[in-house]
C-alpha cells in the first residue's frame, strides 16, 4: 500500500522499521501517533483563556492533526463544509435540504473512489473515516440552522427545540466546530450548539471547577481505552476474524458456529471500544464531556458492558455508537415520521439504509443494516410481550427477557459479521454456514407479532 505523503515526509520511509516490527501499515502507525497525541493536545484546551482563543486553538490543532494523519485527503472534508457554509449564508431557510442533497452524495462518491473498506481490511487507514464524521457535523449544523430560521419554536419537536440555532456561526466558530478536539479522527460527532456554549463557557460550563473535576473521570476513561486495546491485541491472536474461514469451522454444529461468531465479533468490538473511549477521554479532560450534575457522558459513544450484556436489540443503539445513533434519530428517523403518526418498520428500515450508505458502498454494510431493521423489530415484539406479562405473570415476563437476551446475542453477532467481512462472498458464506436460521427466527417473531397481539395489561382498579 502506498504511503500517505503527509506534511513533509513519506510515511513508508518514516515508519519503515516500526512497520516491519509491528506488522502494522505505515498509514495506521501515523494515524495512531496522531490519535494518541490528540489526548494531551485536547486536554490543554481546558487551560486556553478566552472564547476566540479557544476556538482558534481548537481549529489549528485539529487541522494539524488531520493533515498529519491524512495529508491531502483533508480537502474532501473542507470542500463540502465550505459548500454547506455557503448554503447557510445564502439560503438559510433551505440550507439543510441543500446540504443533504450535495454533501451526502459527495461522501458516497468519496467512498466509491477510495474503496475504504479494502484499505481497512488490509490494516491501513485513510481519510474516509474522518470525512464520514465531518459529513454528520456539516449536515446537522445546516439542518439546525434551517430549523432555527424557518420553523417557529412552538411547532418544533423536542429535539429541534434543543438543537436549533438562529444565528449563523462565523467562519472561526464553524471551522473550530468542524475539527475541534481532533474529533474527526474517530469521532464522535457532536452538536454545534453545545460546542459554541462550551467555547464561550456558557450553560453547564459556567462552573469554573469543571477543569479540575475532569481529571479523575478523564483518567478512568483513558484507562478503560487501554484495557480494551490490550484485550483486542491479545484475543485477536486467539480468535481473529479469519476464524470463520478455517476448515474446522465448517465441521462445527450450529451452537458452536454461533459461539465462534460471537467470539470473533467481540474481539472486533474491543477495537472500537478502545478508539471511542480514548477519544472520549480527551473530550472529558478538556471539559467538553461534562453533562452537568456530576455526569461526564455528554459525548460518550459506547457503554461496552451494556453492549455485551444487552437484554434487547431495541436497547442496542443506546449503548453502541451512541452519537451516530442519536444523529440518525434526530436527522433521519424523526423527520420521516409525519406529524400525528407513529413510526413503524419503514422508518426504521430507511434509517438503517442511510446508515449503511454512510458507512460505505460495500455489500457487507448493506447486509448488516438491512438485517438490523429486522433485528430491532423482532426485539420490539418480544419487549411488548414482556411488558404485557410484567404484572400479569412475572415468571413469564422473566422468561421472555431471558429469551430476548439470548436472541440478542445470537442475532446481533450473526448480523454483524458481514459488516466486518465487508464483501459479498464472505458475508453470504458465514450466513449460509448456519442456514440463515437467525434470519428465519427474526422474521418468524415479526410475523407472530403482527398476527398475535399480546394480552392487555390488567386494569389497575381492583374490586373491593
Q: Closest by alpha carbon to 177, among 87, 33, 81?
A: 81
Whole-model pTM: value is 0.93
Q: What is the per-residue pLDDT across 163-189, written as a single tens digit (0 to 9) for each?
A: 999 999 999 999 999 998 888 999 899
pLDDT tens by residue, 226-253? 999 999 999 999 999 999 999 999 999 9
Statement: residue 287 has pLDDT above 60: yes
At residue 236, the 3 state secondary structure works out as helix
User: What does the pLDDT look like over 307-356, one tens digit per residue?
Assistant: 999 999 989 999 999 999 999 999 999 999 988 888 888 998 999 999 99
What pLDDT, on the 0 to 100 scale, is given for residue 16?
Answer: 72
| Residue 244: per-residue pLDDT | 95
- The mean pLDDT of the chain is 91
Q: DSSP characters for 200-228?
A: TT-GGGG-TTHHHHTHHHHHHHHHHHHHH
Just list the catalytic residues.
359
What phi, psi does 350 have (nearest 5°)?
Answer: -65, -40
Give me the pLDDT at residue 345, please: 84
Q: Is the dihedral of CA 127, 132, 133, 137 positive or negative?
A: positive
Cβ neighbours of residue 238 closer than 8 Å, sequence gap 6 or more: none
Amino acid at each position: 500500500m502506498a504511503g500517505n505523503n503527509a506534511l513533509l515526509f513519506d510515511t513508508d520511509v518514516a515508519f519503515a522499521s516500526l512497520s516491519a516490527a509491528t506488522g502494522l501499515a505505515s498509514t495506521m502507525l501515523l494515524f495512531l501517533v496522531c490519535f494518541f497525541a490528540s489526548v494531551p493536545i485536547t486536554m490543554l484546551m481546558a487551560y486556553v483563556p478566552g472564547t476566540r482563543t479557544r476556538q482558534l486553538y481548537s481549529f489549528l490543532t485539529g487541522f494539524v492533526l488531520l493533515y498529519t494523519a491524512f495529508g491531502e485527503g483533508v480537502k474532501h472534508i473542507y470542500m463540502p463544509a465550505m459548500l454547506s457554509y455557503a448554503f447557510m449564508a445564502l439560503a438559510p431557510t433551505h440550507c439543510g435540504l441543500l446540504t443533504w442533497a450535495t454533501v451526502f452524495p459527495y461522501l458516497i462518491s468519496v467512498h466509491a473512489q477510495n474503496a475504504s473498506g479494502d484499505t481497512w481490511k488490509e490494516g491501513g487507514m485513510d481519510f474516509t473515516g474522518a470525512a464520514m464524521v465531518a459529513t454528520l457535523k456539516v449536515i446537522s449544523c445546516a439542518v439546525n440552522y434551517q430549523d432555527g430560521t424557518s420553523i417557529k419554536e412552538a411547532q418544533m419537536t423536542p429535539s429541534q427545540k434543543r438543537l436549533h440555532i438562529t444565528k449563523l456561526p462565523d467562519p472561526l466558530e464553524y471551522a473550530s466546530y468542524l475539527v475541534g478536539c481532533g474529533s474527526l479522527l474517530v469521532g464522535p460527532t457532536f452538536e454545534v450548539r453545545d460546542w459554541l456554549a462550551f467555547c464561550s463557557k456558557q450553560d453547564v460550563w459556567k462552573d469554573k471547577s469543571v477543569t479540575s473535576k475532569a481529571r479523575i473521570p478523564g483518567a478512568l476513561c483513558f484507562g478503560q481505552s487501554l484495557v480494551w486495546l490490550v484485550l483486542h491485541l491479545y484475543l485477536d491472536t486467539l480468535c481473529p476474524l479469519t476464524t470463520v474461514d478455517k476448515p474446522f469451522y465448517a465441521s462445527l454444529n450450529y451452537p458452536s458456529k454461533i459461539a465462534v461468531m460471537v467470539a470473533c465479533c467481540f474481539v472486533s468490538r474491543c477495537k472500537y471500544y478502545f478508539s471511542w473511549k480514548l477519544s472520549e477521554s480527551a473530550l472529558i479532560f478538556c471539559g467538553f464531556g461534562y453533562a452537568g450534575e456530576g455526569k461526564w457522558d455528554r459525548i460518550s459513544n459506547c457503554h461496552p458492558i451494556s453492549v455485551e450484556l444487552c437484554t434487547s436489540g431495541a436497547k442496542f443503539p443506546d449503548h453502541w455508537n451512541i452519537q451516530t445513533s442519536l444523529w440518525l434519530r434526530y436527522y433521519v428517523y424523526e423527520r420521516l415520521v409525519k406529524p400525528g403518526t407513529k413510526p413503524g418498520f419503514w422508518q426504521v428500515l430507511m434509517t438503517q439504509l442511510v446508515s449503511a450508505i454512510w458507512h460505505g458502498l460495500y455489500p457487507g454494510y448493506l447486509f448488516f443494516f438491512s438485517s438490523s431493521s429486522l433485528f430491532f423489530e423482532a426485539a420490539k415484539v418480544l419487549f411488548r410481550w414482556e411488558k404485557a406479562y410484567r404484572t400479569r405473570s412475572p415468571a413469564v415476563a422473566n422468561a421472555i427477557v431471558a429469551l430476548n437476551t439470548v436472541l440478542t446475542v445470537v442475532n446481533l453477532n450473526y448480523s454483524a459479521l458481514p459488516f466486518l467481512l465487508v464483501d459479498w462472498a464472505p458475508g453470504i458464506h458465514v450466513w449460509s454456514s448456519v442456514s440463515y436460521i437467525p434470519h428465519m427466527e427474526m422474521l418468524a417473531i415479526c410475523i407472530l407479532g403482527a398476527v398475535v397481539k399480546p394480552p392487555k395489561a390488567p386494569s389497575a382498579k381492583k374490586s373491593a
